[in-house]
């Protein structure tokens, strides 16, 4: 029973430390545009998604959607798709103190 707890604690610490590094919130959007779905993760967070995206070539933007899905890409979605930030208010499954988009709403960052 020790290992899962150690793993969770490590994941949370990594999430917290990475979410404090430089990146810029680019808005809440009602469509992903050209951002590509990198999938879900049981401990998804802004920091975890950022790491997945930065591990890929030529990535400048990332987004979270549905509380869990991580998207990576080179462009923000079109400006016409910007909605109120309150539509991106689902807690991240891996770190509930952060939000990870909404149902059908993409929380976009310049990374």
Ligand X SMILES: *[C@@H]1O[C@H](CO)[C@@H](O)[C@H](O)[C@H]1NC(C)=O
Footprint of ligand X (CB under 6 A)? 30, 38-39, 52, 55-56, 83-84, 86-87
Task: Select the residue whose beta carbon is closest to ligand X and give its number.
Answer: 55
**Pick from 32, 72, 37: nearest CA to 51:** 72
Q: Which of residues 3 and 92 has its CB atom nearest to ligand X in the complex?
A: 92
CB of 4 to ligand X, least distance (A): 23
What are the residues whose beta carbons fall under 8 Å from the beta carbon of 84, sequence distance 6 or more? 28
Q: How far apart are CA 64 and CA 45, in angstroms?
A: 8
Q: Which of residues 52 and 61 has its CB atom nearest to ligand X in the complex?
A: 52
CB of 57 to ligand X, least distance (A): 10
Q: Which of residues 45 and 87 has its CB atom nearest to ligand X in the complex?
A: 87
**91-92 and 95-99 as β-strands: parallel, antiparallel, unpaired?**
antiparallel
CB of 36 to ligand X, least distance (A): 6
Radius of gyration of the chain measured on its C-alpha atoms? 13
Q: Which of residues 10 and 40 has its CB atom nearest to ligand X in the complex?
A: 40
Q: How far apart are CA 62 and CA 48, in angstroms?
A: 11
């Amino acid at each position: 029973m020790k290992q899962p707890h150690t793993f969770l604690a490590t994941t949370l610490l990594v999430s917290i430390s990475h979410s404090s590094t430089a990146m810029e919130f680019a808005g809440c959007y009602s469509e992903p545009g050209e951002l590509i779905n990198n999938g879900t993760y049981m401990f998804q967070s802004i920091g975890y998604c950022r790491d997945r995206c930065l591990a890929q070539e030529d990535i400048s933007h990332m987004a979270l959607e549905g509380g869990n899905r991580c998207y990576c890409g080179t462009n923000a979605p079109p400006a016409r798709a910007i909605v109120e930030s309150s539509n991106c208010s689902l807690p991240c499954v891996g770190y509930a103190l952060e939000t990870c988009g909404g149902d059908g709403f993409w929380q976009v960052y310049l990374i």
